[in-house]
Structures are given as C-alpha cells and as structure tokens.
A and B are shown apart, each in its own frame.
Chain A
C-alpha cells in the first residue's frame, strides 16, 4: 500500500533559525496536505498542494510540491516559540482512494528561546 515517509523525526532549533521537514510518498499523489499538531492537541489543517511543482507561502511558512507529485517540503523561516509542535504531511492518492489520507510519521519541532 501507499507509504509516506517524513524526515526528520525530531528537530531542535534555536529561536530565529530556519526549519525544514521533508515528505516522500511511495506513489504519485493527487494532492498533499500539511497539518500542525500542538502538544496535547489535534491536527490543524495548514495547506493543500495540488499542482506539480506548486509553491505556496503562508507568512514564514513555505510549502513545496515536487514535480513528480511524490515529495513535498515545509520550510519555516526564522522560527518562533509558537511554531512548536508536530508537523505532519498527509498524502491523498486520489482515484478510488480519494479522500483517504496517509499520514507521514511527523516531525516534532522544538524551539529553544
């Protein structure tokens, strides 16, 4: 079945440093979604990427979808303590599985003030 690998598992940064998490799917995706989960909380939708090579920005967050629609990345510029949490990518294979998301393992981000 479809697998979504996400690295790194953990990332510790000093406030102000940049952060990147990478996501790779074993199969071509219809779209990829990114979520943030704060400690003790539930996943909150951040963004969805659909087009090959798509790049979207949300303030300090930059999301990219690879040309082959199998990989994606989330980059945070100048991290802040409020960025702490686990970032998950989730791939949508489309077709008969449309709507079903396969989540990556998540990257736990810790930001030291």
Chain B
C-alpha cells in the first residue's frame, strides 16, 4: 500500500541531544513537508522540500535541520538549539503544486526527559 511512514511513534530527548525523526513515502511525490503541532496552535510549517537536494525554511525552522537526498525520504533533526521541542510532528507529501491535497503520516510525539 502506498503511503507515508513516520518513525518512531514516540521519542524522548535528553538535554543537549540531537534526535532525528524519520519520514518515508512511496507515493512518488516530489514535495515533502514537516509540520509541528502544539495544543491550540494548529500546524506550523518547519521545513519543506519541492525537489531532491533542495529544501526551504518554513515559519519555525530555528533549531531544526533537514536533508532531502532521496525522493522518498525527508528526515527531520531536532537539534539541541531547539529549546522547546516537545510537540507532535507530522510529515506530509504531495505534488509540487499546493492545489493538490497533502498526504500525512501518523506523526511522532517528541518529549523531553
């Protein structure tokens, strides 16, 4: 079945530690996105990529980094510079034009120990 796979479902970060969230899609989509969801704040865009080896900052990119070495994969690293990383992270993919719907993964809940 085609879809988006995010892993792990739950992740815990220690102080000063970088952690990486995985996102893989087999929908042959060019565009991939990372959103952060906090209670009462909806979804905020962290980074997005329209094509392999290229990505752009979203509204809240500070403290995060990404790579897009393969079309299928768009991992997100939460660095130690992100002082408030506890949130639900959603990965999405779609065609390169945003008039088409996005497909979402099931999310990763990141918490700080």
The finding on whether chains A and B are genuine partners in a shared complex, rather than unrelated, reads no
Chain A contact residues, CB within 8 Å of chain B: none
Chain B contact residues, CB within 8 Å of chain A: none
